[in-house]
Amino acid sequence: MKIFLDTANVGEIKEGVALGVVDGVTTNPSLIAKEKRPFRPLIEEICSIVPGDVSLEVVATDFEGMVKEGEELAQVATNAVVKCPLTKDGLKAVKYLSGKGIRVNQTLCFSPTQALLSAKAGAFYISPFLGRLDDIAHVGMDLIRDICEIYRVQGYRTQVLAASIRNPLHVVDAAKAGAHVATMPFAVLEQLMKHPLTDIGLKKFLDDWAKLGEKI
């Protein structure tokens, strides 16, 4: 499973890429606005840092606007992927853009039927928001499992990008369900690599070595 960072913060992205485990980045209008930087230079810098795909979201809500913005975003870099919301016009935009060879990440997916339609329209990625479903007392991971099963049985090549990830358990369960990608905040990525027994074990090793008084 690929790991993407869900952020527009250049510092976080550079640190994640330096770890060697970050494959791509997802952004959205909220994350971009949070950085308080001019839009085009920011996304160009992000695309230049990231080794894999970078999702850049349209802000238009009508078909014509999504297509216009999508075509512009696709020109930012070769690793740019256009994000369109899962609405009626969003589905039409996915069909059009994918037909032009532009890869699309269809975002804000909350049901298996939405995911089915998105795959039929030609989406490269589908982004089910499991954390937001958990927030309203639905089991978000059930949606990931359902979509993965539908795509596998039906033979769709659309990649399942588990989004709205809030904790390491979400990452583990998404991987077990068969999601192709999990996108997460930098804080969750940091949690993935930490374990108290690792810290305890390392401290003991170093304490014992210090008592020996040797050097490597």
Identity of the amino acid at 166: R
Structure tokens at 18: 């330096």
Instruction: Write phi, then psi, for 107 (nearest 5 degrees).
Output: -105, 170
Asked if 144 and 179 touch (Cβ cutoff 8 Å), the reply is yes
Give the Cα separation of 194 and 166 in Å (integer): 16
Which DSSP symbol is given to 20?
T
Residue 78 burial by Cβ neighbours in a 10 Å radius (0-12, 13-18, 19+):
exposed
Residues 6 or more apart whose Cβ sits within 8 Å of residue 128: 109, 110, 115, 140, 143, 144, 147, 160, 161, 162, 163
Residues designated as active site = 83
Looking only at the bridges linking them, the beta strands covering 104-109 and 80-85 are parallel
Identity of the amino acid at 52: G
